[in-house]
Structure 1
């Protein structure tokens, strides 16, 4: 009898702790969302935000890998993290700058105006309440699964249809050994299609704007990490075995086939396009 009472007491305490944790998480997200919204409605609802946000996030996430490439010329430890020993030295500052201006020009001339038109038609809104922690996790994860599937189909199509490869995707494959900034060194049509895919995933899933912000941030980081050229000890694919990571994607650039999914490996395993 005494043991039963103790068990009930333990359950009550655990339920109270779980409720407290959930409330704390909700309060943190609500405060974060209110901080994001505070006086920023015009910016958050601007049709120019998605393209500007994608470009700036991409450049900022590339900065640590620019530092690694600079250190690689003098530090053997950094060079040992590079995926292919025979891939040559890290890209020079001149290559980085050339890549930066190409990506910037395509964003300004094509990606920015078209995505602005898309956002104007979409007419997003800003709810007062933030999502729960569980809802945020589910929405972000669902966006990644959907984006991964759509990207796999589109990427595979660009390789299997000669016209699509020549006119849209071939430019991205000028990098046999890609570096971080080269994740978006692609044709205007490809850059635009991928950003529209990401935006459409948020719309299809019905994401809260905060969930969508988190998804786009993580999406930008993972794209940069996939192209960085380093197999880092702390990389996401070492923490999550379901991810392919930089070695997975660099094999695609080397072989020009297989490993079509951007992040997860299950579609390539299922269709027999996986290359180790």
Structure 2
């Protein structure tokens, strides 16, 4: 056990002796949080952890939907839920969108992650976990703020032709949605989305566990919105967003399900 981890553990024990244990506060997430701190403290405190978490979550979700895309033409039970059942996702579509995604990650995400790793100190982890109520309310608040920010960004880039053609048109080159289109976008749009995802939990002073939950949920919802499927359990059917799509740019017909990200 490292010195930092030992000091943090002793500090938490001291807090519990002072009557701030999870039992007295009713914090249901405390046992899991204690386990994570005791066994993965260095990993969770690393400035790279949110980046790794986001990238891993995205590619896991995309891999799942891409597998469904490849199975759909021969599996009617899957194809029936596609928005465009007569137009299968092709390998050229997959390679093109995947190539842009990897290019953006190498050009923008990787340098930013390295800079953060070099210059940002490890994140101190609080001893106490968030309450179950604050955990879910924090995620909900972050989602509302993020949706509002992206709605305004999206509206502006559709209303101003120069902004649309310079920064946002690439995201609408595919009229048929599928999961890899989620991050088929310009560097400026990727930067904007990543910036809000990072800064919103800080502005709302969320617990780091809440922050990670928001990141995972936000990535899942964004990917699910672009996946090209309309399952009964899809987010737009279970919890429709109150924000509506702005109108498309002149001459641009975009067919997307649910919220446009």
Decide: shared fold, TM above 0.5.
Answer: yes
2-structure distance, mates of 1:206, 1:102: 34
CA contact (8 A) 2:167 2:186 kept: yes
Unaligned 5+ runs, structure 1: 1-21, 264-276
Change in 2 beyond 3 A, CA 1:212/1:98: same
Partner of 2:98: 100
- Corresponding residue of 1:35: 35
Equivalent residues in 2 for 1:1-276 (5 A)?
26=26, 28-85=28-85, 88-114=86-112, 117=115, 124-242=123-241, 255-256=253-254, 262=260
Task: Give the superposition deviation at 1:262.
Answer: 4.6
Q: CA separation in 2, counterparts of 1:141 and 1:153?
A: 19
Quote the offset at 1:26 in angstroms: 4.7
CA contact (8 A) 1:47 1:117 kept: no
What's the TM-score once normalised by structure 1's chain length? Answer: 0.74
2: CA distance, partners of 1:142 / 1:94: 39
Indicate how the Cα distance of structure 1 residues 74 and 256 shifts in structure 2: closer, same or farther if over 3 A, else same.
closer
Find the aligned partners of 2:76 and 2:256 in 1 and give their Cα distance: 31
RMSD of aligned alpha carbons: 3.2
- CA deviation digits over 1:163-184, x for unaligned, max 9? 2212211111111112012101
Aligned with 1:185: secondary structure? coil
Distance in 2 of aligned mates of 1:177 and 1:190: 20
Mapped partners of 2:42, 2:248: distance in 1: 41
Q: CA deviation at 1:23?
A: 5.0
2: CA distance, partners of 1:255 / 1:114: 34
How many Å separate the matches in 1 of 2:83 and 2:146?
26
Q: After TM superposition, give the deviation of residue 118 of structure 1 in Å.
A: 6.3
Q: Distance in 2 between matches of 1:222 and 1:79?
A: 21
User: Are the counterparts in 1 of residues 61 and 223 from structure 2 also a CA contact under 8 Å?
Assistant: yes
Deviation at 1:139, TM superposition (A): 0.7
Aligned residues between the structures: 236
2:7 maps to what in 1? Answer: none
Q: Distance in 2 between matches of 1:172 and 1:242?
A: 21
Distance 2:256 2:81 in 1: 23
Task: Choose between structure 1 and 2 for higher RCO, CA contacts under 8 A separated by at least 6 residues.
Answer: 2
